[in-house]
Amino acid sequence: MTHRCKKSSGLWKMVVWDEPFFQGKKHEFTTDCYSTPEHGFSTVRSCKIESGAWAGFEHCGFQGQQFVLERGEYPCWEAWSGSNAYHVERMCSFRPIACADHGRSRLMLFEQENFQGKRAEMSDDCPSLPALGWGSSTVGSFLVRSGAWVCSQYPGYRGFQYLLESDSPAGEYKHVREWGSHAQTGQVQSIRRVQQ
């Protein structure tokens, strides 16, 4: 059974600036931002996550490269994009991650699409799937039982990030293309729980 999550106000707060190092125009968000231009920002250049976990996206409409933003300060784009496969100097939409529950997260991964082939179940962070004994550099599908997870292309939580949530279509990610609009490959070599 997959745990469904519900958003409630007051759990999230993100402060953004249109210049690096917390300079320039400032705006506070406690809910989704579909498009930063609608709020007078061409893009976010720095931000502080004061509460909750957030998903940032390269393009408006929650599209493009994904960034998992947990409590803390991000003074410039390198702070949230520095370990990705390519550097993205913009973040034009973002939203709270409702299902982040570090203590009770459960995830199943499958070797092939549609929950086929070899499988493994996780309830803890894994900096290297190969070291854990996963025989492939790719994953075909995921079933998120509870919580929210960020999968990374390379060991050590490096490369492209893919956010997986238990409240996204029943926590089922049957194909690579369901991991996000930027997903091009099933290469996943490290996985961790999202901190709330």
Residues 79, 141 within the same domain: no
Residues 184, 132 within the same domain: yes
Residues 168, 123 within the same domain: yes
Look at residue 139 in the predicted model and tell me its pLDDT: 95
Look at residue 5 in the predicted model and tell me its pLDDT: 42
pLDDT at residue 168 is higher than 90: no
Distance CA 80, CA 91 (A): 10
Is residue 99 situated within a structural domain?
no
Sheet of 63-69, strands arranged across: 63-69, 54-59, 93-96
Q: Mean pLDDT, to the nearest integer, of 37-57? A: 94
Look at residue 82 in the predicted model and tell me its pLDDT: 62
Helix (H, G, I), strand (E, B), or coil: what is residue 36?
helix
pLDDT at residue 134 is higher than 50: yes
